[in-house]
Each structure stands twice: as structure tokens, then as C-alpha cells.
Structure 1
């Protein structure tokens, strides 16, 4: 058993090679093998977003604050809000982040395959990000 007390791990700035804008991460768990689970709280400032990416074993996002956007390659941008849970299938190319004028925080849960939990791809262009999201609910 490993109890990690609140505040014992510092917040870390997300790597700029995988994100646009200001993004902070607070780790929840990075289990050692043979376990594969990884989970992190991710805080996006307004306009911040991930690059396009995939996950070898999929990903679950659970929005806990603010308002965000998510897009699967080839499909329209979708708004996401607190309480929404999103399953992203293995290998599905996608991005997610905050709206232009509102920050967003989500919990990301995924598993590592051979130590790799994401394949990071190209940045989301301003043109792609600016496409109108579909109305929500």
C-alpha cells in the first residue's frame, strides 16, 4: 500500500511539446508494473489544449470544472462540461482542452502498454481549434 498525502506531490507544468497554452498536471497514480493504470488531474487555462494524440489502450476523461472541447479526428468538435465522462477508444486520434474563454479541469485515466500510455502527434492548429463546436444538450 502506498498512501500519497494531499499536497505531497507538486503540480507540474505539462510538456510544451504536447500541449498548446498553459496546462498543469497533478498526478493521481502511476502504478508500477505489472499494473498499468495512470491517472492525472489536468487543468487547462482558457484556450489551452492537447496535441492530437492516441492511447494504445484507450482513455477515460471525467470533467470536474469549467468548460472544454474535445474532437475525434474526422468528426465535429464537441463541448464537454462538469460531470461529463468520455471514453476514447484505443488508437482513436483526438484532442481535448479548454474553451477559448473558459478554463477546464478533467481527470484523465488511461493504461500504459509496454510503458507507453500515449502517442503524441502534431499540434492542433488555431484553425482546427476555432471550428464551431456542436451545441450541447
Structure 2
């Protein structure tokens, strides 16, 4: 593990090796609950973001982000990016293309809550371009 983010209430967790190919930069994963509703603390080093992706489901599904520390970004396809700070809540319905991650110069953590649903899967897509990410203030 590299540098530890000490401002992380739910613990930084381990290197997110299982999903590393879907991230630009280093992220960390601390799984908090697997019974009933899956909840994980995801921590992004400065400049880290995940690829565009879609949480698919035939019924229900999607994701909720509960922002816990640092500052980050959330963006839906063809919409402006939204700045995130501790206390922000993002509801992501199933079948919405989006990405989320840290700002260029700061750590960011959120709880990722998987909304129960039928026939759920994640479709990982292209990385967020350096140009698009770099234009965010």
C-alpha cells in the first residue's frame, strides 16, 4: 500500500487490484458489508478516477454514493460534472453511463452502495479522457 489517507473514517482498505484495469490512477477498496446490500468504501488517490461505466439491471439496481472525505467528481454522460464533498449523496439509477473519482490534487472517499435489483451487471467502458478530466476545476 502506498501513502495512507488519514482522513478516512471507514478505513482506506487494500489496493483495489480486482478493478484496477477500470481505473486511471490508484484506488483502494474496503468492503464493509456483503449481506443483503453490498457496501464498500472506495478511496481514490489524487487524480484517480474510474472509467465510464453502467450499472445494468432489468429491475431495480443502480448505485448510491455517500461521500465521506475529500473532494471528488461525478459525471453522467452528456451532462456537466458535479463537484462532490463530504455529506453529498449521489443516486445513480440503473442504465445511466457515468464516472466518479478524486480531484486532481486531493484524496476522495465515498461509500458505494449497490441497490438491490434483478439481473444486475456492470458494464465497464472507456476511460475518462485526460483532456476532459483536466478541464475540471
- Do they fold alike, i.e. is TM over 0.5? yes
Q: Which runs of 5+ in 1 are unaligned?
A: 1-5
- Give the superposed CA RMSD: 2.1
Q: Measure how far apart 1:17 and its partner are.
A: 1.1
Q: Measure how far apart 1:112 and its partner are.
A: 6.0
CA displacement, residues 42-85 of structure 1 (integer Å, 9 cap, x when unaligned)? 00000000110111211100110000011000011110000000
How many residues in Structure 1 have an aligned counterpart in Structure 2?
A: 122
C-alpha contact (below 8 Å) 1:111/1:117 kept by paired residues:
no
The equivalent of 2:14 in structure 1 is: 11
Question: Given the two structures, how large is their TM-score scaled by the length of structure 1?
Answer: 0.79
1:132 and 2:132 matched: no
- Which structure has the bigger radius of gyration? 1
Question: Given the two structures, how large is their TM-score scaled by the length of structure 2?
Answer: 0.79
What aligned pairs does 1:1-137 form with structure 2 within 5 A after superposition?
11-14=14-17, 15-31=19-35, 35=36, 37-56=37-56, 57-111=61-115, 116-132=120-136
C-alpha contact (below 8 Å) 2:64/2:115 kept by paired residues:
no
Q: Which runs of 5+ in 2 are unaligned?
A: 1-9
C-alpha contact (below 8 Å) 2:15/2:26 kept by paired residues:
no
